[in-house]
Structure 1
Amino acid sequence: MAVNLGRHAGMVAAIGLVFTIALGFGITKLEFATGQDSYLNKNDVVYKDNIAYQELFGGQAMLSVISMDNGAKIDSIFTKEGIATMEAVAQDLRDSGQVLGVISPVTALDFSASLVTSPDGNPFNAVAAKALLNAQKVAEASGDTVSAQARTADLAITTQRLLAVPADQQTLENPEWVKFLLYDNAGEVRLALRPFFPDDTHAQMITRLPGNGSIEAEGAASETIVETTKALKFPDAQVTTTGAPVLLKGINDYLKGGMLGLGAIAVAVMMVILLLFFNVRWRLLPLLVVLIGVIWAFGLAGYLGVPLTLVTIAGLPVMLGIGIDYAIQMHSRIEEEVIIGRSPHPIQSAARGLGPALLVVTFDAVFAFLAIQISKVPMIREFGWLLIVGIIAICISSIVNPLAALGIREYKSPTKGRDFSEGKLGRLVVKMGSLPATAALWLAVAAVIVFVVGSVLEPQLKLETDPINWVNQDSQVIKDLRNIESEIGGSSELGVFVQSTDAASLYSDSSVAFVDTFTREQMAKYSKELLVGSSIVATVSDLTDIPGAKHISPAAADVQQAWDLAPKDIQLSTASPNGENFNIAFLTRPTSLEGQAVVVDGIRQTEAPTGIKVTPSGLAVVGVGLLQNLEANLVQLTWLAVGLVFLFLWVRLRSLVRAVLSMVPVLIASGVATIAIYLLGIELSPMTAVGGPLVVATCTEFTSLILLRYIEERQRGLEPREAIDITAGRTGRAFIVSAMTAIAGVGVIAFSSLPLLANFGLFVALKIAIALIAALTILPPLIVWADKRGWVSKGMLDRPEAPFIEVPDHRADVLS
């Protein structure tokens, strides 16, 4: 193959161009997968429940928080102009077709008015009055005279305040009516209105997005909402609009653009490295070769239906970093055969010597990436498939393209130069591996200790589980979220899906009492995580909460009537029309996913009455599910990658010792990096879940090449120490340059403005750097020590060499 590629380079180039264009077309078929099925498995109960929940009650919420300044109270926004503004904005959002519903402060007070008034004008026929009278009756029946008296007194004051506003003046343009609706008899914002008016200086417009939307759809909707709500302007007030959809859109947009941006930076850094350190003719050829391989990789991914996700987008700089080593090694080996080996058939010699080794290291990487398939996170598994497809494509490109390009070059213009094994890089690598063989046992013991300590510490490493900290802290969305959190105490929500399991309506006294009790228990139990609980049951329940009176759950009939009177936007987010499903929405305080997991798990353990199912739902649960799936087998991913590669090498190299030697630097790197990260107290990004297999693939690529080249030198009759020195000297330049480009390819991610990526890049680059240093310093003395006992080259020294294919001369007898 090497001969034909070189002799027919023009034809190879033409075919390669057509092939690249054909595969490149597959890039147009790539799709971004940003739905819930990127984070949760479709067969997970959590996924199924969340799909059903969002189908009924919609997706995420966008908050527009109105904050009063200069001592103004929130009721001051209810002027003719203010009301018109809020209603116009809400209607524009509904008309956009991108939202499920909008609950504005006007909507909230209209609902409150419908609960305290009745069509016949008798205030005691209103839902609120009937709920209060029912609670009073229950208190009297139970002998709780204190509560009964408190309720009687409060109802009297409420009735007096209500009747003080004539019926024809009960409009939101009347400040007195607004104050009656908004404030209780103690002058505080009514409990039932706290989800919309957290206190007397804040109000919220809650815009609910359609359920089960992709990040793109929700991101587009969030842009519309942010733009539309800019019209919310009131005297002495500031308005901030944001929410989780804006946060996720920012991450998604950055990763889409960031893939090309980081890839371009990686290419630029690699170009500088090649120009400065890779002293060969056509020194940028490896970069061209790997770029062609990347086009093949992403094209194949498009044809095979491998989607791009939040994780797979990091694949470009990773593949550039790992894949360029193949091209560098082949390029360097061809020039080595010409300059140092003086081979009459340099292309054939390079192909025979390095080709099988490149196939071995490619399978090393494939098996390492196969380990990623045990991940419980779909987008992590997709990343694994992308890397497998990519590394195979890059390997083929790194064999075919250099052989063709350099074959015709050497045929027409043979390379001339001095022995580069005596150069600085060659001497550096020889020196790095010059530890005496007697140190091997101590190095082996140290490696075991480091690996064991690292393995013990690894489960104690913490993941950064607050999504807000995944994003650039100087970005506008973070500033807005922090502002809302400081103003009203929270910006996210946790939904609870209450379902009837026997098709019976939940509008029964027992079911309503359970939902009411459950809501209050969660608020008390998780007061540090939950800020306020909202539901149709909670609305009526809070109306009956009177200072000095024991709480009594509302009657089911009152709750059902309240839902019937509610505006459509409130109905859509609180209960299904048939009454078989309720929604409880908890506004959460600033909490990490780890903290939210405690609440979610606690809710899951709730013992509901027969016929009722309680399920935590919404974005918070998706996030918690993602975190738990990531943590489920974080360590096992690395162990499995090590195990699969070790077994492959054992079989392929037909030697336990050779396989063990190849893995030693990997274990050292894993242990040292883990210890360093633990001591520095660095919290890891969730993306580091794929770091272990990446390090295994990269490091075993180097160790396998070193080991196989050493055996090749032994086959030439050299003694162990001389063979390892020749290996280091002749391949040193390629290994140093490859190491720098590999670290640069992954390490450039560390300079991302997105902490989610930056942490991942730093973690993986650190491990790769340690692994490569270990491969060049610790592996050589171990090989020499083991081979002096006949354990490394045994059975591989007496292999006959096949004759070269003779080809016609052209200027010099160098073609092959």
Structure 2
Amino acid sequence: MAVNLGRHAGMVAAIGLVFTVALGFGITKLEFATGQDSYLNKNDVVYKDNIAYQELFGGQAMLSVISMRDGAKIDSIFTKEGIATMEKVAQDLRDSGQVLGVISPVTALDFSASLVTSADGNPFNAVAAKALVNAQKSAEAAGDTVSAAARTADLGITTQRLLAVPADQQTLDNPEWVKFLLYDNAGEIRLALRPFFPDDTHAQMITRLPGNGSIESEGAASETIVSTTKALKFPNAQVTTTGAPVLLKGINDYLKGGMLGLGAIAVAVMMVILLLFFNVRWRLLPLLVVLIGVIWAFGLAGYLGVPLTLVTIAGLPVMLGIGIDYAIQMHSRIEEEVIIDRSPHPIQSAARGLGPALLVVTFDAVFAFLAIQISKVPMIREFGWLLIVGIIAICISSIVNPLAALGIREYKSPTKGRDFSEGKLGRLVVKMGSLPATAALWLAVAAVIVFVVGSVLEPQLKLETDPINWVNQDSQVIKDLRNIESEIGGSSELGVFVQSTDAASLYSDSAVAFVDTFTREQMSKYSKELLVGSSIVATVSDLTDIPGAKHVSPAAADVQQAWDLAPKDIQLSTASPNGKNFNIAFLTRPTSLEGQAVVVDGIRQTDAPAGIKVTPSGLAVVGVGLLQNLEANLVQLTWLAVGLVFLFLWVRLRSFVRAVLSMVPVLIASGLATIAIYLLGIELSPMTAVGGPLVVATCTEFTSLILLRYIEERQRGLEPREAIDITAGRTGRAFIVSAMTAIAGVGVIAFSSLPLLANFGLFVALKIAIALIAALTILPPLIVWADKRGWVSKGMLDRPEAPFLEVPDHKPETVS
């Protein structure tokens, strides 16, 4: 084929270009999937509940934290200028159309004012006063005279403070009125206002994003919020605005742009490796071939509708690293056949010798990547499909393009020379595989032991489960998040979705009492994880908390009246208009997803009354669900990949022994790398969930090519030791170079500024390196030992060779 193509170089180039452009156009059809369905399965209860939750109460929150300096108190921001600034910023955000609601410090105090005053001017008709009176009556009915007395005294003091500010001066630019609203009778920030004023030197503006948004839409909204809130300037104050949307946007932006950068670095490193170590004519051709294959791969992915996610974008350097081996092997084999000149048709000989082997290793990879489909994480499964499509496209490119290009070259300008030198790399590989055959059995036993130990230790490997640690720690978003955590104690939230499962409203005394008790129990039980709980029930409940008095849950009527009086932005994030859904928002302390999982699982086990359903929701639950799905079958992914590839090789090679030999270095590589990472205490990123199948695919590529080339040499009449030495010498250069490029392609990810990717690159590169060493040192003595017993080449030595296709003679110009 290749020689015939050489007679029509122009046509071949034109057809190849048109084909590549046509496939490459599919890249324009690629779409980025960044919604919740990338992390959770649509049929998961968690996914469905979270969709419903966000439809009602919105998505993630952005925090603008105002921190006072130089001894100033938070009430000092309530000047005419300060109030105007906060109101303008809040209104600008609402007008942007990118947010669901904004609760500013002004909004919070306006709500507080509506609770302590009444339309008729009688303070005892206010919601707060009625709630206190109801609590007092409950104490009296229970015979709790101490609590009743405490509430009576506190109500008296509160009334005096209220009446001390004339009605016409009850405005937020009046310092005395602000102090009354903000501080309780003990001079502390009122409990009901703690979600907005954590202490007397801090306040928060909470901007809620629309629910069920993509990372792109939330990222764009976060940019608007950060930009708009820069106008929040007050004397003696510092304002920091950030939130989870900024963090996720940073990760997403890096994976989109940064991966292209890493891919470019990988290409540059591969170029250097090829120039220095790949001593052939047109030594950069494999790089061009694999780049064409990558274009085909991503184009096909676009046509097939395979989306790009946070994980699949890493496919570029991975496919470059793994795929270039195919092109290097084909190029090296063609060069070998041309120089040795043992066949009148060297290009056809190369195609016949290596083409079927490349198809075998491609199917090795396909079956390894199919194992990824058992992952419970949608974006991991999409990564598996991308790799399958990619490896097939690259295999075709690595067979067709080198044959065509080098066929054209050899037709026009044949390579001169008849001495094929093993070179330093070839001699190195021969030496690496020179272990005596007598060591084979012990090596096989060691391989099994290492793999089993690695599999036992793998579930114990530490996964980095704090999303904040997935990002460059020197980035601005991390600095801002750490700053907010140090100022107010936390920057993330955990939502709890309280639903009525029948037609009844939650504004009943029993339902309100349950929500109130539940909130307080969670705060007590998970005090190390939760900082403050906020809800419409908690607001009224906190109003009735008086020092020296036992807590009493508020009356449902008071809670409903409070919601009716609340500003729209507060209503949107606390309860549905029909009263059948409540939201409880817990501000969480800095906690890993693993720590949050404890809280989430505990909330799920809540024994709610009949007619009420309690569901943890929000970003924290999505994160916990992602973590649990990742950990669910981490080890099984590797085991299944090993099993599928082994079964394929058993069938394709028609020999149990040949299949086992191909898998031994895989077991060693997988086990040794896991043991090393465990002993070193390296924390792995969630992306390493796909590391096992990647290593299985790469390692079986090496082992299958070595085994099949060995059988080819045996078919030429060589004895086992001589055949394995010839295999090592002739293919050594290609193996070492392809291994270096594979490690470079994946290993360059280890230099990412994103720890999420860096650990993944380190993990996979380490396993690939061990796999190559194991394949080149352990496999040769195993093959020799087994073949001396007739187990390797049995039934494959007497196959008749099909005749070559005759091609027209040509008289090219010979070059050296």
TM-score, normalised relative to structure 2: 0.99
Give aligned-pair identity as a percent: 96
Q: Which is further off, 404-413 or 466-475?
A: 404-413
Contact 1:301 1:307 in 2 (8 A): yes
1:412 Cα offset (Å): 1.5
Shift of 1:8: 3.2
Q: Is the 8 A contact 2:416 2:815 kept in 1?
A: no
How far does the alpha carbon of each residue in 1:135-159 deviate from its partner, in whole angstroms, 9 at most, with x for none?
0000000000111011111111111
Q: Give 3-state SS (helix, strand or coil) of 2:121's partner.
A: coil
Q: How far did residue 6 of structure 1 move?
A: 3.5
Cα deviations across residues 303-361 of structure 1 (Å, max 9, x unaligned)?
00000000000000000000000000000000100112442211000000000000000
Give me the whole-angstrom Cα distance separating, in 1, the residues matched to 2:188 and 2:8.
87
Asked if the contact 1:410–1:815 (Cα under 8 Å) also holds between the matched residues in 2, the reply is no
Residues 3 and 815 in structure 1, CA contact (< 8 A), matched pair in contact too: no
In 2, are the aligned partners of 1:345 and 1:815 still within 8 Å (CA)? no
The 1:356–1:682 alpha-carbon spacing in structure 2 relative to 1, beyond 3 Å, is same
1:3 Cα deviation (Å)? 4.0
- CA deviations 1:183-210 (Å, max 9, x no partner) are 0000000000000000000000000000
Per the TM alignment, residue 807 of structure 1 is displaced from its structure 2 partner at its CA by: 1.5
Output one character per residue of 1:215-236: Cα deviation in whole Å (capped at 9) or x when no partner: 0000000000000000000000
1:279-319 superposed Cα distances (whole Å, 9 cap, x missing partner)? 00000000000000000000000000000000000000000
Cα-to-partner distance string for 1:108-131 (whole Å, 9 max, x where unaligned)? 000000000000000000000000
* Alpha-carbon separation, structure 2, partners of 1:617 and 1:246: 20
Distance 1:814 1:729, change over 3 A: farther
Contact persistence 2:415–2:814 (CA under 8 A): no
RMSD (Å) for aligned C-alpha atoms: 1.3
Residues 223-279 of structure 1, C-alpha deviations (whole Å, 9 max, x = no match): 000000000000000000000000000000000001211110110000000000000
Whole-angstrom distance in 2 between the partners of 1:386 and 1:526: 42
What SS is found at the alignment partner of 1:564? helix
Does the 8 A contact of 1:809 with 1:815 survive in 2? no
Contact 2:64 2:242 in 1 (8 A): yes
Q: Residues 435-494 of structure 1, C-alpha deviation per residue, up to 9 Å, x if partnerless?
A: 010111121122122112111111111110000000000000000000000000000000
Contact 1:280 1:335 in 2 (8 A): yes
- SS of equivalent residue, structure 2 residue 241: strand
- 2:60 is aligned to 60
Quote the Cα distance in structure 2 between the aligned partners of 1:422 and 1:30: 44
How far apart, in 2, do the equivalents of 1:28 and 1:752 lie?
A: 26
Q: Is the 8 A contact 2:430 2:728 kept in 1?
A: yes
Alpha-carbon distance in structure 1 between the residues aligned to 2:807 and 2:202: 85
SS state at 2:533 partner: strand
- Separation in structure 1 between the aligned mates of residue 731 and residue 653 of structure 2, nearest angstrom: 21
Check conservation: 2:413, 2:815, Cα contact below 8 A: no
Output one character per residue of 1:559-591: Cα deviation in whole Å (capped at 9) or x when no partner.
Answer: 000000000000000000000000000000000
1:628-653 Cα offsets, whole Å, 9 max, x none, are 00000011001000000000000000
Counterparts of 1:169 and 1:812, CA distance in 2: 102
Deviation at 1:803, TM superposition (A): 1.0
CA contact (8 A) 2:341 2:418 kept: no
1:283 matches 2:283: yes
Q: Which residue of 1 aligns with 2:349?
A: 349
Find out whether 1:667 has 2:662 as its counterpart.
Answer: no
Measure the CA separation in 1 of the matches of 2:662 and 2:390: 23
Partners of 1:341 and 1:764 lie apart in 2 by: 39
Give how far 1:812 is off: 6.3
Displacement after TM superposition at 1:5 (Å): 3.3
2:642–2:696 CA contact under 8 A, matched in 1: yes
Q: Does 1:305 align with 2:305?
A: yes
Instruction: Give the Cα–Cα distance (whole angstroms) in 2 for the partners of residues 401 and 170 of structure 1.
Output: 81
How far apart in 1 are the matches of 2:450 and 2:10? 52
Maintained 8 Å contact 2:2/2:408: no
Moved more, 803-812 or 471-480: 803-812
Moved more, 12-21 or 241-250: 12-21
Is the partner of 2:497 in helix, strand or coil? Answer: strand
Deviation digits for residues 596-633 of structure 1 (CA, Å, limit 9, x no counterpart): 00000000000100000000000000000000000000
**Cα contact 1:345–1:814 (8 A) shared by 2:** no
Deviates more, 1:341-350 or 1:513-522: 341-350
- 2:597 is matched with 597
Provide TM-score, normalisation by structure 1.
Answer: 0.99
- The residue correspondences of 1:428-467 to structure 2 (distance < 5 A) are 428-467=428-467
In 1, are the aligned partners of 2:102 and 2:569 still within 8 Å (CA)?
Answer: yes
Q: The residue matched to 1:531 in structure 2 has which SS?
A: strand
CA distance in 2, matches of 1:458, 1:501: 42
- Given that 2:6 and 2:412 are in contact with CA atoms closer than 8 Å, whether structure 1 keeps it comes out as no
SS for the counterpart of 2:287 is helix
How far the C-alpha of 1:811 sits from its partner, in A, is: 2.6
Distance 1:421 1:447, change over 3 A: farther
For residues 305 and 191 of structure 1, the distance between their equivalents in structure 2, rounded to whole angstroms, comes to 52
* Other structure's SS at 2:684 match: coil
* Stretch of structure 1 that moved more, 395-404 or 800-809: 800-809
Q: Which stretch of the first structure deviates more once superposed, 113-122 or 439-448?
A: 439-448
Tell me the residue number matched to 1:791.
791
Q: What secondary structure, in the 3-state scheme, does the structure 1 residue paired with 2:43 have?
A: coil
Contact 1:64 1:242 in 2 (8 A): yes
**Which moved further from structure 2: 115-124 or 802-811?**
802-811
* CA 784–163 in structure 1, closer or farther in 2 if over 3 Å, else same: same
Q: Shift of the alpha carbon at 1:542?
A: 0.2
Range moving further from structure 2, 117-126 or 443-452: 443-452
Report the Cα distance in structure 1 between the residues aligned to 2:8 and 2:148, rounded to whole angstroms: 100
Deviation at 1:529, TM superposition (A): 0.2
User: After the TM superposition, which of the residue ranges 459-468 and 421-430 deviates more from structure 2?
Assistant: 421-430
Helix, strand or coil at the partner of 1:420: coil
Q: What's the CA shift for 1:770?
A: 0.2
Q: SS at the partner of 1:306?
A: coil
Q: In the superposition, relative to structure 1, how do residues 421 and 433 fare at CA in structure 2: closer, same or farther (>3 Å)?
A: farther
CA distance in 1, matches of 2:710, 2:735: 14
Specify every segment of 5 or more residues in structure 2 that has no aligned partner in the other structure, as ranges. none
1:788–1:712 distance in 2 versus 1, CA, 3 Å: same
Are 2:422 and 2:733, in contact at CA under 8 Å, matched by a contact in 1? no
Alignment of 1:230 with 2:269, yes or no, is no
What CA deviation, in whole Å up to 9, does each residue of 1:409-431 have, x standing for no partner?
Answer: 11121112464443101100000
Give CA-to-partner distance per residue, 1:2-39, whole Å, 9 cap, x none. 44333433322211110100001000000100000000
Shift in alpha-carbon separation, 1:673–1:282, aligned structure 2, 3 A: same
Measured in 2, the distance between the counterparts of 1:420 and 1:467 equals 54
Moved more, 651-660 or 439-448: 439-448
Q: Distance in 1 between matches of 2:681 and 2:219?
A: 34
**Alpha-carbon distance in structure 1 between the residues aligned to 2:73 and 2:267:** 57
CA contact (8 A) 1:2 1:348 kept: yes
Q: Measured at CA, do residues 774 and 419 of structure 1 come closer, stay the same or move farther in structure 2, by a change above 3 Å?
A: farther
How far is 1:813 from its partner?
12
1:15-69 superposed Cα distances (whole Å, 9 cap, x missing partner): 1110100001000000100000000000000000000000000000000000000
- Which residue of structure 2 aligns with residue 3 of structure 1? 3
Say whether the 8 Å CA contact 1:420–1:426 is kept in structure 2: no
How far apart, in 1, do the equivalents of 2:173 and 2:520 lie? Answer: 34
Q: How many residues align?
A: 816
- 8 Å CA contact retained: 1:8, 1:404: no
* Partner Cα separation in structure 1 for residue 760 and residue 152 of structure 2: 63
SS at match of 1:718: coil
Provide Cα deviations, 1:354-392, integer angstroms capped at 9, x if missing partner. 000000000000000000000000000000000000000
**Equivalent pair of 1:346/1:815 in contact (CA under 8 Å):** no
SS in structure 2 at match of 1:421? coil
Deviations 1:740-788 (A, max 9, x none): 0000000000000000000000000000000011000000000000000
Asked whether the 8 Å contact 1:497–1:581 carries over to 2, the reply is: yes
- Is this contact kept in 2: 1:94–1:101, CA < 8 A? yes
Give 1:583's aligned residue: 583
For 1:629 and 1:515, locate their aligned partners in 2 and report how far apart those are by CA, in whole Å. Answer: 30
